[in-house]
């Protein structure tokens, strides 16, 4: 097997440079690559275009990169409650492209599947359709949406092995598998690197061929955005 | 006139056994509380879960298990987890039977606006545009008028659209209405104690009232 293991997030991100386009997995704060984001903040790399469903919150996730003005453009479906994000957007420091969530996922998927574009009905007749080719199939209109091109995809999985095979846990899976397939270089951080053979080949979510670098992260905070509970009766 | 829970209760009566249902944020989330026992209904959460269970008990919340509203939730026996592309695949290919979502405006030809108010901070459309473009059956849960007292049921939407010609049914605190294929709102039911005259006075789009309009039955 080809060994993809690198020491840590610093080594994994060593050639990420100013102006690059990054995909970052996660939905809200669930399943985000915490270690790699911290390394990018410490590294201070700037003018990044970030493709990520959300933009973190103040003081956590991509919110940390926003605080250090490292992000030039966000491509997201929902940017939620983030005061620093809002301030930068209104002041014109940050460019934001909002796209439908399914379109975001499918543009990642297209990239990973080696397809240049997809057709989706999402956004037909809305401002999302502005400037895009529309095609009619069987009486219904669809927008042509292009596959993303990302220099790096950065994903978070639960377990992985040295071959780069990945397994995700619960809804922390979200965008991670499609983004893992879509990066020119894919970095995977995992909670645990297990011995080769420990992951059942039938149960692997992302085959190692898509992963170029893998490392075991540490000190996962896994912050919860909305702690909703049920009363014990 | 109904409160938010009343709207949710009335919408729950539209759910049939065997349905896969996607619930939006706000009033639609409350619908889950009123699905009658014994119905076999599976809730889809577009971040990648089929078979969404109730909120966890304190101490059992798991940061890796949330719904599309980023709330901690649980799974059920028979639940399944998948990635975001697959999730919207099942939405686009119409495997989800019913979508329930909120709206700022609905027009008499079924257009919906629910994601953007020009001049205000825009948070994004999330999965709403994908859902309205593909769902075979969409019910809108909303207040009949906005905070300024203006009708939200219009001849044409004034806000940026989320989707076109896609809404078929609306439940408000005052009424249940169908959106007719040829255009116009058709009054199906009145909330208890609400007159058809009042509903007409707060409906800006074309409204059809035919014969005696029954009151909603909520139980």
Q: Given this model, what pLDDT does residue B40 score?
A: 95
Q: Is A228 on the interface with B (CB under 8 A)?
A: yes
Dist CA B14 CA B34 (whole Å):
11
Tell which B residues from 176 to 205 touch A, by Cβ distance under 8 Å. Answer: none
Q: Is A122 on the interface with B (CB under 8 A)?
A: yes
Q: Is A113 on the interface with B (CB under 8 A)?
A: no
Inter-chain residue contact A170 with B123, CB threshold 8 Å: no
Q: Which residues of B touch A174 (CB under 8 A)?
A: 47-48, 83-84
Q: Which residues lie closer than 8 Å to B58 by C-beta, 6 or more apart? A: A229, A232
Q: Given this model, what pLDDT does residue A38 score?
A: 98
Dist CA B64 CA B48 (whole Å):
12
Residue B105: active-site member? no
DSSP string, chain A: ----B-SSHHHHTTT--TT-EEEE--BTTBT--HHHHHHHHHHT--SEEEE-S---BTTBTHHHHHHTT-EEEEEES---S-HHHHHHHHTTSSEEEE--HHHHHHHHHHHHTT-SEEEE-TTTTSGGGTT--EEEETTEEEEEEEPP-EEEEEEEEEEE-TT--EE--GGG-TTHHHHHTTEEEEEEEEEEE--TT-S-GGG-SB-GGG-SEEEE--------SB---B---
Dist CA A146 CA A123 (whole Å):
14
How many beta carbons lie within 10 A of that of residue B120, not counting itself? 7
Tell which B residues from 1 to 30 touch A, by Cβ distance under 8 Å. Answer: none
Q: Which residues of A touch B47 (CB under 8 A)?
A: 27-28, 30, 171, 174
Q: Given this model, what pLDDT does residue A219 score?
A: 97
SS3 B199: helix
Q: Given this model, what pLDDT does residue A121 score?
A: 98
Give me the interface pTM, i.e. the ipTM: 0.96
Q: pLDDT tens digit string along B129-152?
A: 999 999 989 999 999 999 999 999
How many beta carbons lie within 10 A of that of residue B18, not counting itself? 10
> Could you tell me whether strands B20-23 and B42-45 are parallel, antiparallel, or unpaired per DSSP bridges?
parallel
pLDDT beyond 80 at B101: yes
- Position B2 confidence tier, pLDDT thresholds 50, 70, 90: very high
Q: Which of B54, B92, B133 sits opposite A230 (nearest CB)?
A: B54
Q: Given this model, what pLDDT does residue A62 score?
A: 96
Q: Which residues of B touch A80 (CB under 8 A)?
A: 123-124
Counting as low any pLDDT under 70, the low residues of chain A are none
**Segment holding B7, helix H or strand E:** helix B4-12
Q: pLDDT tens digit string along B70-89?
A: 999 999 999 999 999 999 99
**How close does chain A come to B6, measured CA to CA in Å?**
21
Sign of CA dihedral A45, A50, A53, A57: positive
Burial of residue B117 (CB within 10 Å: 0-12, 13-18, 19+) is exposed
**How close does chain B come to A177, measured CA to CA in Å?**
7
Dist CA B95 CA B39 (whole Å):
18
Q: pLDDT tens digit string along B13-46?
A: 999 999 999 999 889 999 999 999 899 999 999 9
**What pTM was estimated for this model as a whole?**
0.96
B46, B105, B108, B173: the active-site residue = B46
Q: Given this model, what pLDDT does residue A232 score?
A: 86
- Which CATH number applies to A9-115+148-216? 3.40.1080.10
Q: Which of B83, B124, B163 sits opposite A98 (nearest CB)?
A: B124
Q: Is A3 on the interface with B (CB under 8 A)?
A: no
- Position B53 confidence tier, pLDDT thresholds 50, 70, 90: very high
The DSSP bridge partners found for residue A141 are A136
Q: Given this model, what pLDDT does residue A221 score?
A: 97
Dist CA A52 CA B18 (whole Å):
34
DSSP letter for B69, please.
T
Q: Is B208 on the interface with A (CB under 8 A)?
A: no
Dist CA B129 CA A26 (whole Å):
20
Q: pLDDT tens digit string along B194-217?
A: 999 999 999 999 999 999 999 999
pLDDT beyond 90 at B121: no
Residue A187 · residue A16 · CB < 8 Å: no
- Position B122 confidence tier, pLDDT thresholds 50, 70, 90: confident
Chain B residue whose CA is closest to A89: B121
Tell which A residues from 49 to 108 touch B, by Cβ distance under 8 Å. Answer: 53, 76-80, 86, 89-90, 98, 100-106, 108
């Amino acid at each position: 097997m080809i060994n993809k293991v690198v020491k840590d997030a610093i080594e994994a991100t060593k050639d990420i440079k100013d102006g690059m386009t990054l995909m970052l997995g996660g939905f809200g704060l669930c399943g985000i690559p915490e270690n790699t984001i911290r390394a990018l903040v410490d590294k201070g790399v700037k003018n990044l275009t970030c493709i990520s469903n959300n933009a973190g919150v103040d003081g956590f996730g991509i919110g940390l990169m926003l605080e250090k003005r490292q992000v030039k453009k966000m491509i997201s479906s929902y940017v939620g409650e983030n005061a620093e994000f809002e301030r930068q957007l209104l002041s014109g420091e940050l460019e934001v492209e909002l796209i439908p969530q399914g379109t975001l996922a499918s543009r990642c998927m297209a990239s990973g599947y080696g397809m240049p574009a997809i057709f989706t009905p999402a956004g037909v007749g809305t401002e999302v359709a502005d400037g895009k080719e529309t095609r009619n199939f069987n009486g219904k209109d669809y927008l042509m949406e292009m596959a993303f091109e990302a220099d790096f995809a950065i994903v978070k999985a639960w377990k992985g092995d040295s071959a780069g095979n990945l397994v995700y846990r619960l809804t922390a899976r979200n965008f991670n598998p499609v983004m893992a397939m879509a990066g020119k270089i894919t970095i995977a951080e995992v909670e645990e690197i297990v011995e080769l053979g420990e992951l059942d080949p039938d149960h692997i979510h992302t085959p190692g061929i898509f992963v170029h670098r893998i490392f075991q992260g540490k000190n996962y905070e896994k912050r919860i955005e909305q702690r909703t509970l049920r009363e014990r009766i | 006139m109904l409160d938010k829970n009343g709207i949710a209760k009335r919408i729950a009566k539209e759910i049939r056994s065997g349905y896969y249902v996607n619930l939006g944020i706000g009033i639609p989330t409350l619908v889950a509380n009123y699905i009658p026992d014994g119905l076999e209904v599976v809730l889809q959460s577009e971040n990648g879960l089929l078979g969404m269970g109730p909120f966890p008990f304190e101490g059992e919340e798991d940061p890796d298990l949330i719904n599309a509203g980023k709330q901690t939730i649980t799974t059920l026996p028979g639940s399944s987890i998948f990635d975001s592309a697959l999730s919207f695949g099942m939405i686009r290919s119409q495997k989800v039977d019913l979508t329930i979502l909120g709206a700022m405006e609905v027009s008499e030809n079924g257009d919906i606006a629910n994601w953007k108010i020009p001049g205000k901070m825009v948070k994004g459309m999330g999965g709403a545009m994908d859902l309205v473009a593909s769902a075979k059956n969409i019910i809108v849960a909303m207040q009949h008028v906005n905070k300024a007292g203006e009708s939200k049921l219009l001849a044409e939407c004034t806000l940026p659209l989320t989707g076109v010609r896609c809404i078929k049914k609306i439940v408000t605190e005052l009424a249940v209405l169908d959106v007719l294929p040829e255009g116009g709102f058709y009054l199906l039911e009145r909330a208890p104690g609400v007159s058809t005259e009042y509903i007409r006075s707060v409906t800006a789009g074309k409204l059809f009232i035919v014969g005696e309009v029954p009151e909603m039955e909520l139980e």
